[in-house]
Amino acid sequence: MIAETPIDHTKIRYEGVAGKSYKQTMSLTEARKFRLTDDDLAELTFRTVRIRRYKKFAKYFSTKDVIALRLAKYGSLYVKKESAARARRLAQLKALNIDADHVCAESFVANGVGGVKALRERLELYARYDLCRDEWRRIFAAKLATGDVLREILEQREREREREARLRKALAARGLELRSDSFLCRRYIQTNVGDVGEIVNQMKIMHILHMQTNYIDVLHRLPQDMEDDERLEVAKRIVMTGNRFKHLFAWINIGV
């Protein structure tokens, strides 16, 4: 449900197109269908039209003014009505003290398939494994939550843990730590792309560049219109091949 906000009639503006489904003006009765009260509409300019058929006078407002007022009050032109079935499911979750935003409850809220029993089974499974939200969605989307998808994800996690342990050990041997912001490390752990020895070498190089050289100053002096990757590589090459710091990298063949 869209929340109401106080209306500042001096700021009401609508410059968009009213759309083919609307006339240029609308009656008071039509304006009320936008969930606007007579007090809301009292501030709008209107013209009085005599309806001959009923021998009465009626107020007519600019359609754009009504739309602007609706947007000012609710923030949206349309409000999607919540289905009674969905409302009942949300009430069930509240009674069970289960957060409606929980990944285990998403399909229950959306369509109620499986009912509360299936919801409890998903929660029990969720408590057993430490997986991310997207992985749980893959599992719950499968016919059998305990079948191939879960097994595939768990096996992938185990392989990632093994690669992480291997990389941490190699880094530690060179006096380095695994950095969570390293693209090379993350890619190797998650996708098995890269060679551990080469990754450690690159991590050592970056450690020296940041801790023992003027790499950052060189980077800042390079033209700002260069591509980020290009600037990083150019700054790296300048420092590593320059006479001032090249002795720090004598253990590798950096090329010229």
Which pair of tokens denotes residue 60? 């007519």
Largest CA-CA distance found in the chain, in angstroms, rounded: 100
Which pair of tokens denotes residue 194? 């890269």
CB-neighbour burial class of residue 124 (10 A; exposed 0-12, middle 13-18, buried 19+): exposed
Q: For a pLDDT cut of 70, what percent of the chain falls above it?
A: 84
Q: What is the mean pLDDT of residues 83-100?
A: 89
φ, ψ of residue 58 in degrees (nearest 5): -135, 150
Give the whole-angstrom CA distance, residue 138 versus residue 31: 46
pLDDT of residue 82: 64
Q: Which of 151, 154, 196 is nearest to 173 (CA)?
A: 196
Q: What is the dihedral of CA 80, 84, 86, 87, to 10 degrees?
A: 100
pLDDT of residue 93: 92
Q: What beta strand segments (E) does 76-161 contain?
A: none
Q: Are 68 and 8 in contact (CB under 8 A)?
A: no
Lowest mean pLDDT among 23-27, 98-102, 125-129: 23-27
pLDDT of residue 78: 66
Q: What beta strand segments (E) does the chain contain?
A: 25-27, 46-51, 56-62
Q: pLDDT by residue (tens digit) across 180-235?
A: 889 999 999 999 999 999 999 999 999 999 999 999 999 999 988 888 889 999 99
pLDDT at 18 over 80: no
> H-helix or E-strand containing 167?
helix 148-173
Q: pLDDT by residue (tens digit) across 114-168?
A: 889 989 988 998 998 888 888 888 888 875 545 678 888 888 989 999 999 999 9
Give how far Cα 138 sits from Cα of 66, 132, 148, 187, Å. Answer: 45, 10, 11, 21
pLDDT of residue 50: 74
Other CB atoms within a 10 A radius of the CB of residue 93 amount to 19
pLDDT of residue 228: 87
pLDDT at 100 over 50: yes
Assign 62 to helix, strand or coil: strand
Laid out side by side, the sheet with 56-62 consists of 25-27, 56-62, 46-51
Select, from the ranges 49-53, 78-82, 248-252, the one with the highest average predicted confidence (pLDDT): 248-252
CB-neighbour burial class of residue 130 (10 A; exposed 0-12, middle 13-18, buried 19+): exposed
Which pair of tokens denotes residue 172? 């530690």
Q: Are 127 and 103 in contact (CB under 8 A)?
A: no
pTM for the model stands at: 0.54
Q: Are 123 and 106 in contact (CB under 8 A)?
A: no
Beta strand pairing status for 56-62 and 46-51? antiparallel
